[in-house]
């Protein structure tokens, strides 16, 4: 299949957005006509921020706090859904020069595409913010040839959420360190009392593979792909067996076609374990007063390797805030970006986003994060997963074409279209083709 240019996807797409107008937190409408680019009707500077978080999960409070403290700069928030369609809407607006002053990137591959398209400002030109001092060494994962095109603003957490009472009934301890095979045993036992022992959000679905290959290398000394690694084969084979033999996790095709609401299924008690990230707290806090609720415990994502030293868990920093270089208000946008990263984002913790900056009030953020429902969570296991693991972590850095080809091939395997051997061979060959020629090979 030939490659299309990234920008060729745009041009005929209409963008529909909802905006949060300056002093009217909670009132949503289409962006209104303005007099002059980047200004309100009364001549004040107007900043438009695009993000993927629902307004009620923190952005409303952020906008209100900024607008109260900055009478000369009015902030609007435009929500886009962080999926393929939503990112296409944002990209269309960026390419078309619509009113986008700042925007959030939720993956390195998204930001990389936007840098290549010239719609992310190089922040190295600003000399008044020491990003590494503020965010630590994890910030380096968001550098491109030593240059930063956005501020990483939040600490990433990925984990397995568990029904503590279900574990106790099955006489299973809360895992502190465990393998993929341990997880399969847990899932099988827990599925005796639940519809599913194990559910996975599709966003971190591949994390066990990336944890392995981040440690060992995606390519060998010969420059060839390691997508056919024996432990990648084990991941595929065992997960399919869980779907079709153990019946402890849903079949992949069913999860895809039904758009399975995995968070709700876990929170309702239908499933006993869920592989997810910190955004779970947004939903969990909303149902915390349910009389049928259970205690949520936490465990690290299970590893494919036997030894804990032989893998690197996913984590790092995220929610990278970029400035559109075409913004007429770059200086005001930079002022907002610094304010947001260093504490203005604290209300975002109610949606599961803890600030990465050392200057932010982490105690206040944790209060928002738990939503006043500490008794809903097993705090000992939460603290272990969030703060008790000194291991270095990774931010997924594979380019989008490589992520896509890998998904395309393992989908065929899980759907019964091709064998395990053919899947491994195809992933390796297509990855090699991409590495050596930029071609993705045949699907």
Region of residue 145 (phi > 0: left; psi between -120 and 50: alpha; otherwise: beta): left
Give residue-wise pLDDT tens across range 379-411.
Answer: 999 999 988 876 788 998 888 899 999 999 999
Domain boundaries for CATH 3.40.190.10 within the chain: 6-155+316-360, 158-313+391-396
CATH code for 6-155+316-360? 3.40.190.10
- Which value, to the nearest 10 degrees, does the dihedral of the CA atoms of residues 332, 354, 60, 277 take? 120
Give residue-wise pLDDT tens across range 163-187.
Answer: 999 999 999 999 999 999 999 999 9
- Which value, to the nearest 10 degrees, does the dihedral of the CA atoms of residues 103, 108, 110, 114 take? 70
The residue count of the chain comes to 443
Per the CB < 8 A criterion, the answer to whether 53 and 348 are in contact is yes
Compute the distance between CA of residue 312 and CA of residue 253 in angstroms, rounded to an integer: 29
Per the CB < 8 A criterion, the answer to whether 183 and 194 are in contact is no
Residue 48 dihedral angles phi and psi, to the nearest 5°: -115, 125
CB-count exposure of residue 248 (10 Å: 0-12, 13-18, 19+): buried
CATH code for 158-313+391-396? 3.40.190.10
Give residue-wise pLDDT tens across range 274-310.
Answer: 999 999 998 888 875 665 689 999 999 999 999 999 9
User: One digit per residue, pLDDT tens: the chain, 443 residues?
Assistant: 333 333 333 332 223 333 333 333 333 233 322 223 455 557 799 999 999 999 998 999 999 999 999 999 999 999 999 988 999 999 999 999 888 999 999 999 999 999 999 999 999 999 899 998 999 888 999 999 999 999 999 999 999 999 999 999 999 999 999 999 999 999 999 999 999 999 999 999 999 999 999 999 999 999 999 999 999 999 999 999 999 999 999 999 999 999 999 999 999 999 999 999 999 998 888 875 665 689 999 999 999 999 999 999 999 999 999 999 999 999 999 999 999 999 999 999 988 899 999 999 988 999 889 988 888 999 999 999 988 876 788 998 888 899 999 999 999 999 999 999 999 999 999 999 999 986 655 55
Among candidates 329, 334, 79, 109, which has minimal Cα distance to 206? 109
Compute the distance between CA of residue 204 and CA of residue 138 in angstroms, rounded to an integer: 19
Outline where 219-274 has alpha helix (H): 230-241, 252-258, 262-267
């Amino acid at each position: 299949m030939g490659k299309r240019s990234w920008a060729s996807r745009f041009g005929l797409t209409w963008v529909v957005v909802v905006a949060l107008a300056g002093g009217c937190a909670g009132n949503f409408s289409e962006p209104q006509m303005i007099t002059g680019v980047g200004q309100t009707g009364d001549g004040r500077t107007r900043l438009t921020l695009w993000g993927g978080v629902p307004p009620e999960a923190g952005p409303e409070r952020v906008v209100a706090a900024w607008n109260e403290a900055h009478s000369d700069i009015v902030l609007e928030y435009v929500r886009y859904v962080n999926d393929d369609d939503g990112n296409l809407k944002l990209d269309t607006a960026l390419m078309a020069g619509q009113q986008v002053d700042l925007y959030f990137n939720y993956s390195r591959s998204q930001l990389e595409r936007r840098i290549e398209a010239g719609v992310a400002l190089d922040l190295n030109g600003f000399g008044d913010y020491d990003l590494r001092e503020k965010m630590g060494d994890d910030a380096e994962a968001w550098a491109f040839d030593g240059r930063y095109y956005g501020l990483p603003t939040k600490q990433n957490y990925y984990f397995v959420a568990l029904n503590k009472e279900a574990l106790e009934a099955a006489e299973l301890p809360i895992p502190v360190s465990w393998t993929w095979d341990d997880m399969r045993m847990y899932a099988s036992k827990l599925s005796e009392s639940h519809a599913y022992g194990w559910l996975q959000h599709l966003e971190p679905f591949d994390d066990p593979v990336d944890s392995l290959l981040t440690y060992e290398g995606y390519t060998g000394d010969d420059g060839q792909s390691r997508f056919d690694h024996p432990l990648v084969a084990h991941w595929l084979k065992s997960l399919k067996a869980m779907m079709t033999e153990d019946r402890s996790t849903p079949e992949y095709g069913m999860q895809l076609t039904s758009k399975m609401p995995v968070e709700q299924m876990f929170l309702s008690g239908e499933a006993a374990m869920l592989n997810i990230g910190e955004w779970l707290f947004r939903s969990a806090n909303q149902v915390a007063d349910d009389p049928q609720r259970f205690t949520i415990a936490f465990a690290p994502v299970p590893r494919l390797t036997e030894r804990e030293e032989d893998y690197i868990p996913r984590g790092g920093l995220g929610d990278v805030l970029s400035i559109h270089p075409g913004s007429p208000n770059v200086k005001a946008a930079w002022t907002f970006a610094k304010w947001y990263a260093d504490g203005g984002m604290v209300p975002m913790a109610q949606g599961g986003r803890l600030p990465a900056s050392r200057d932010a009030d982490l105690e206040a953020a944790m209060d928002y994060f738990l939503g006043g429902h500490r008794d809903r969570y097993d705090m000992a296991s939460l603290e272990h997963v969030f703060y008790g693991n000194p291991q270095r972590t990774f931010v997924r850095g594979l380019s989008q074409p490589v992520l896509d080809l890998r998904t395309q091939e393992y989908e065929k395997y899980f759907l019964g279209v091709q064998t395990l051997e053919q899947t491994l061979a195809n992933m390796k060959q297509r990855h090699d083709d991409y590495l050596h020629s930029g071609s993705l090979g045949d699907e």
